[in-house]
Amino acid sequence: MTGQMEALEKTIHITQKNRTQFTNSILMVGWCWLLMTVLTHASEQATAPKPPEEAKTTISLDAWTAVSQMTPGINLGNTFDNIQQWETGWGSPLITKEFIQSLASLGFKTVRLPVAWDTFADHGKITTEQFRRVGEVAGWIMDAGMFCVINIHWDGGWIDSGSKERFPDTYHTFSPEAEKKFRSYWQQIATHFATHGEKLLFEGLNEETNFANEGTVEQAYATLTRVNQLFIDTVRATGENNAQRLLIVPGYSTDIDKTCQKEYQLPTDTTPGKLFISLHYYTPWPFVGMNKDTTWAKMQPTWGSGDDVKQLEELFDRLQEFSARNNIPVFLGEFSLCSDKEKASRVRWTSAVYRAALKRKMIPVLWDTPGGVVSRKPPFVPHDELVEMLRQPESVATSDHSGTSHRLEPVMQD
């Protein structure tokens, strides 16, 4: 208004006679400006994505009660965690509401949404477009009746300076710069989503928890405890529903064996009963992750022997004991394997992991990527029998080349 008045005063000679006319002109300009502002705001409100109805609720759900409601889950992997071109850079089509609804129709109850925030932030500030798009997809997930887990994913490895080439001076440490960014990003994320209800969970970080260069083994573990504590304290301090929100903290390298060591200490929380611990399962790696021999191991082509099953059972028993001793439920945030392994072995392994988690009251969340288990293009059908197996773990339908129907019994029995 001041600038408009000065401009008018330069072109209008104000005398006592025409002052009233001038004042009326100014009032007209002011009313027009106010009307335009109101209409613009109303238009923005009408077109802006609205939070899901679930977002209006408060949070009373505790972690143990949530386990059955969140089982099973699936990841939108290699999508918003991409560090080249974000959503579509690793082969994913744009995620649609129809695809999200198809996941709910398949029986999934949780969608984990890994996100690279830092890569596309503007000098440490998460952009409006990042929040808009992640919020849109998260809203679709919750509107479909599923839980949504948002995290800070690998994102180039800045949290634990995981790349020696990029971070030669701070490799495998939690540097002061990383601490500053970690706090800032969780303040921004938590504040933006603060009013959303109990179907939205935050996961502090992914697997980037290798702080081996902090000094001793004890110091490495203590650093992860400090990172997890910073995450909890930062989120809780933003208030609103975040004071009661369910949160997920990772084990050391999200590895069962490393997390079950005496050096691992959980953080504390001012709100009891709201924490999960996150582990991933990619064991045995020669079967799960290798498609050729290496100098340190031979590729394992099949899975399902007595020794294979024994290894799985023992690891999950250890994890169950840790969970019971610390009174914290397990969020098995990732499990998957190479797609080029024998189909029967893939089914046996996935079924065994899934059922091992179920019978120990853990939340199994399948790692899935573009071109993986569920097609992201219409009609969104599963690529093979794996999703059907997850929906009906008692047995898995398949058929041989003759068209004869068979039932593959899962390795693990209740």
Flag whether 352 is in a domain. yes
Residues 1, 93: one domain? no
Domain-located, residue 414? no
Domain span at residue 144? 60-408
Domain annotation covers residue 53: no
Write the single-letter amino acid at 291.
N
In degrees, rounded to 5, the angle at the alpha carbon of residue 405 between the alpha carbons of residues 400 and 410 is 90
- pLDDT recorded at residue 381: 86
d(CA 146, CA 140): 9
pLDDT value of residue 48: 43
Q: What is the mean pLDDT of each run of 10 residues along the chain (414 residues)?
A: 42 39 39 38 42 60 98 97 95 98 95 98 98 99 99 97 96 98 99 98 98 98 99 99 99 98 98 98 98 95 97 99 99 94 91 95 96 93 68 40 32 31
Please give the pLDDT value at position 383: 72
- Kindly state whether residues 133 and 34 are assigned to the same domain: no
Task: Give the chain's domain count.
Answer: 2
Alpha-carbon Rg for the chain, nearest whole angstrom, is 26
User: Residue 331 — φ and ψ, nearest 5°?
Assistant: -105, 100
Domain with 95 in it: what CATH number? Answer: 3.20.20.80
- Residues 86 and 8 both lie in one domain: no
Q: Is 52 exposed, middle or buried (0-12, 13-18, 19+ CB in 10 A)?
A: buried
